[in-house]
Structure 1
Amino acid sequence: MDKKDILILVIKVIIYACTLILGVLGVSSLTSCSVSKDTSVVGKATIITTDTTYVLHNTFLSYPKK
């Protein structure tokens, strides 16, 4: 192997090691903080209705004769 090849190999190993270390630190920094969300909805509803009811009494009453 040439000196140039050894230098390239050493640089690659250093880059891989730094990537691994930074990856572990990034994952641990993401897991150490917590995010929460709470939603409360409060309101008042007024329902106004108009109801029209028609009652039709149309009956025929039959009384028996005595």
Structure 2
Amino acid sequence: MNELLQHFREQPKEAIKEVAMCVMIFAVCGAMLFLSAILQGCSVQRESASSGKAVIITIDTTYIYHGGTVKFPKTK
């Protein structure tokens, strides 16, 4: 802290420039955060409707084992 005060006493113009630069950096960062908060508060609603014909094409990869026998009940 003493070094900072000594710097202010020895070179006041340079110290004021450094403080001004820090204040500007904080101001720009604060403005960016404020702007991002405002933009995130906006909401957009969209609605769409569509009509037409849908064609579904599938490839069946089901394997069926046909090694068994089928028994039917006896009819009279």
- TM-score (ref. length: structure 2): 0.47
Name the structure, 1 or 2, with higher relative contact order (CA <8 Å, separation 6+). 2
Query: What amino acid is aligned across from residue 29 of structure 1 in structure 2?
Result: I
Query: What amino acid is aligned across from residue 38 of structure 1 in structure 2?
Result: E
More helix by share: 2
The alignment partner of 2:15 has SS state of helix
Query: What amino acid is aligned across from residue 18 of structure 2 in structure 1?
Result: L
RMSD: 1.8
> Which one has the largest radius of gyration?
1
The CA deviation string for residues 25-45 of structure 1, in whole angstroms up to 9 with x for no partner, is: 001111111112223468xxx
Query: What amino acid is aligned across from residue 8 of structure 1 in structure 2?
Result: K
- TM-score (ref. length: structure 1): 0.53
Question: Is there any run of 5+ residues in structure 2 with no aligned partner, and where?
Answer: 1-6, 52-76
Question: Are positions 1:14 and 2:20 aligned together?
Answer: no
Q: Quote the sequence identity (%).
A: 14
Give distance in 2, aligned partners of 1:34 and 1:26.
15
